[in-house]
Every structure is written in C-alpha cells, then in structure tokens.
Amino acid sequence: MENNKKALVLLNMGGARRKDELKLFLTNMFNDKNIIAAPKLIRKMIAFFITTSRLNSAWKNYEEIGGFSPLNPLTEKLVDKVNENIKEYKTYQVMRYTPPFAKDVIEDMKKDGIEEVVLLPLYPQFSTTTTKSSLEDFKAYAKDSFKIKTKGTFYKNEAFNKCIIEEIKEKTNSQAGEFNLIFSAHGLPQKIVDKGDPYEKQMNKHVKILSKMLEEEGQNFKSINLAYQSKVGPMKWLDPSLDDMLENFKDENVIIYPIAFTVDNSETDFELDIEYREIAEEIGVKEFRVCKCVNDSDMFIEAIKDMIKFK
C-alpha cells in the first residue's frame, strides 16, 4: 500500500456529526452554485436565511436518529473495506459539504505520493446538483496535481443492481406479491430538470432496469412505482411526491427502496424510516418497510471493483 501511486476517491455530499457541522452543511449546500443558480452575493444571503431559519428544526430530526448522520461511520467502513479488497488503489473519501473536504484530502494525497486518481461519485444517477458539483469541487482544488479519470453514473451496472435486488428480496421475505414497491428518489426542482439535468430520465431508466431484474427473479410485486421525497419550498418539484404516492396504498403493504442513495443518511434513516412512516400510518398503510442502502456490503465492494474497470 505504501508504494501505491494510484488513488480511488469516493465522492459524496457529507453528513453532520453535531449541530455546528449541520450548520456548516446547510451553509455550504445553499452556497453551491449548482444548487442555487444566483450571483454569489445573493446566494450567500439566501444560504444565511435558509440556514438560520432551518437549523434548529433540522437538528431536532438528527436528534431522533442519535445526533449524527449514519453516512459518516458507514462511509468510513466502506473506505476500510475497499482498501482491504482493492489493493491496486489507495482509497479516500471526499465530502462536498462537511469534512473531509477535497482541499484537505488532496493535500494528504500529495503527501502520500499519489500520481493517478479515479473519481467515483457515489450517486447512481447523474445530476448537476450532486455528481457535477462533487466533480467540479475536487478538480478545482486538484488543478494539475494528478492524472484524473472519472467514473460517471453506475445505475446500469449489473453488479450494483444485484445489490439492490438482494436487499429488496431480503426485506420482502419471499412475499413480494403482498407488497407495493416504491423506489423513492431525492427530489429536484422541476426548473433544474427543464434546464437539461438528466436525473429524472436516468431515474426512470433505472426503475425499468430494476423492475425487469425483479421480474426475472420471480419477484412479482402488486405494483412498482417511482416517487420523489424531500421537497422544500413553494416551487414545483419532480412528481409524484412520496406523500401523494402513499395515498394510493391505504390498507396495503408498502416497501420503500431509497434509489438515489448508496449510503444511508438522514434522508433514509429520518425522512423515510421515521417521517414517512408516520405519514403512512396516518393514511392507513398496513405494513411499511424501508430497505437499507448498499452501504459497505460485500456485494457493493464487488460492484465497485466492476465499476472502476477501464475497458
């Protein structure tokens, strides 16, 4: 490992470990030009307003899941396992809105003598708000320090999709026919999609791929659906919303898979498993199950091996 000149860098959004880090997360996110397309000064004012108005209520949500995002410990485990299993590279993590930040990790990589870098954004589908933002951030700080290759979307990767299918099968416990499956994706404002962001198209394609794989495995759900979570503010977001989708399943069983994420975070552990569970109970959904992300599973490590092959 000491003589390894190649690095694999796993890119993700980040997650808060305490309240001041949640403030940092929100501040950095709403200052991101890929999130809010406004002049820098306007963006800074918007970020300040949103952060100060939402911090306390957002922190209460974190307190319900133990006071920190599960994304951090899970990503550390993932990095350790990738380092153990993929010896060709030294693996690092870089987060967009909370430490470890690109600028600091890049300095560590220089000290480690890294010459070649493979960037793997941990977002299955491409969006300007996630993949593009994380890649731009890393490359801006790296400048010409390394020879960089980028792996883009991996929603078509069979090894990755097998991880998802296995988790769904485990959660249904051979009773797929009694459940309605909802793939829940993080929402996006409609205007971002209208400007050409491919996220929605890729999400639809991903659901088709997974639906076909489930059918081939004999997993015949009552229905398979796509819905979007996490809408904030008055503007139009992608629909159907998860709230509206759940209205269709009074007195029925529902299983949720968080299709936009690879590592569990506050949006899976709080939003899906607590907030939307309460909504489902109010609607009268009979049974509500939430799948885990691929996280640091052995199958996902094998999928990463497959993803970073350069044909």
CB atoms within 10 A of CB 9: 27
The answer to whether 267 is a known ligand-binding residue is yes
Closest residue by Cα to residue 184 from 230, 217, 125, 142:
230
The answer to whether 216 is a known ligand-binding residue is no
The one-letter amino acid code at 272 reads: L
What distance in Å separates the CA atoms of residue 60 and residue 258, rounded to the nearest whole number?
22
**Do 237 and 187 contact (CB within 8 A), yes or no?**
yes
What distance in Å separates the CA atoms of residue 175 and residue 168, rounded to the nearest whole number?
11
**Do 285 and 249 contact (CB within 8 A), yes or no?**
yes
Cα–chain center distance at 144: 28
Say which DSSP state 101 is in: P
Question: Which segments are annotated as binding site?
Answer: 186, 267
Question: Which segments are annotated as binding site for Fe(2+)?
Answer: 186, 267
